[in-house]
Structures are given as C-alpha cells and as structure tokens.
Amino acid sequence: MNCWKSVNVQKEVGINRIYLLSFLVGVLSFIFLFLPFAAIHQGYTLKDQGIFPLLIGLALLPIVHRIVHFIPLLVTKRTFKLKCRFNKMKFPIISVLSKARMSKRTSIITLLAPTVFLTLPGLIASYLYIDYFAYFLIFSSVNIGISYTDFIYTSKFIRAPRKCIVENDGTGYDILI
C-alpha cells in the first residue's frame, strides 16, 4: 500500500490557531443558535440551576466527546486502544487509537459520531425543554467547537480517493491507497 497523504491538523494549522478557531466556532454557533431558539421560546422564562451544574457539565463534555468517538468502532467490532492519562492539572486526557485500518466511510462516521450523538440531541432537547434551552444550547455549541478538528479531518477524508484505507498512528492519520 502506498501513502496517498498524511494528515496532521496540529502540524498543518497549528495548535494555537486550532484553539482560537475552535473557540470562535463555538461562540458563533451559540450566537446563531440562540437567536432562533430565543425567538421560538420568547414567552417563557429560563430556570436557573446555578453555575456549578453548568461547570461540571462543561468539564465532562470533552471526556464524553472522546468516548463517543469509539461508539462506531464498537458497532463495527473494530479493535481499538483506549488510553487515559492525566495532565498536570489532574484532568484526564482520553485517546482512542484504532489498531485496525479503517475504510474511508468508517473513518468519517467515527469522526462525525459526537456531532450526531451529542449535538443533534442537544438541539432537539433545547427545542423540547423550554425552561432549560439555553443550557442545552451552550452544551451543543461547546461540542460544535470541540468538533472543529473533526470537521477538518472529515473534509480531508472526503477529498480522498474512494477505495482508500485510513490508519491512525496517534499523531495524525495516514490515507493509504
């Protein structure tokens, strides 16, 4: 097999730009989502549950986002390696590495799983639960911001040849033909 392209967004874009663009995408998604939902729910008042449940939910969201990435790998019965380590602030960092090579479709589904399983239910819940719609929109917007690098990788995979195989080496992806 020949390597068609190696994709590492952190090297191509830069980690500081990724953080900045991810933050901007999250804030803009909240603004663009809050305005229509506020217009839909304009006669209702929001229930305030305090800052601590919000902070706990926002702290757990990146962990849940990472774990949701391996749901398609479980469904397709792929072997994967789940690594958990703690950074200096004792916050867990979870990495999911697929041991087997994946098809282009499986890779795209794996990358878009947090958007499908976290963001879309959050938007539906913000429509259904009127009293807490702002909280659900905050969680959905933060998840969209976290998914920014997933969207970049997905756009690279979509441009790849149809019959390619994607391999994850821990630092990026190799698209093999």
What would the pLDDT profile of 77-107 be if each residue is shown by its tens digit? Answer: 777 677 777 777 666 776 666 666 788 888 8
Q: Hey, what are 119's tokens?
A: 């963001």
Q: Hey, what are 125's tokens?
A: 């819940």
Could you tell me the CA-to-CA distances from 129 to 44, 45, 68, 110, 148 in Å, in that order?
Answer: 11, 12, 23, 29, 27
Determine contact, residues 141/92, Cβ cutoff 8 Å.
no
- Average per-residue pLDDT for the chain: 85
- The residue ranges of every structural domain in the chain are 3-176
* CB under 8 A, 24+ apart: contacts of 168-173: 168/97, 168/98, 168/102, 170/95, 170/97, 171/8, 171/10, 172/6, 172/7, 172/8, 172/9, 172/10, 172/11, 173/6, 173/7, 173/8, 173/107
- Residue 147 — pLDDT band, cuts 50, 70, 90? very high
153 or 98: which leads in pLDDT? 153
pTM: 0.86
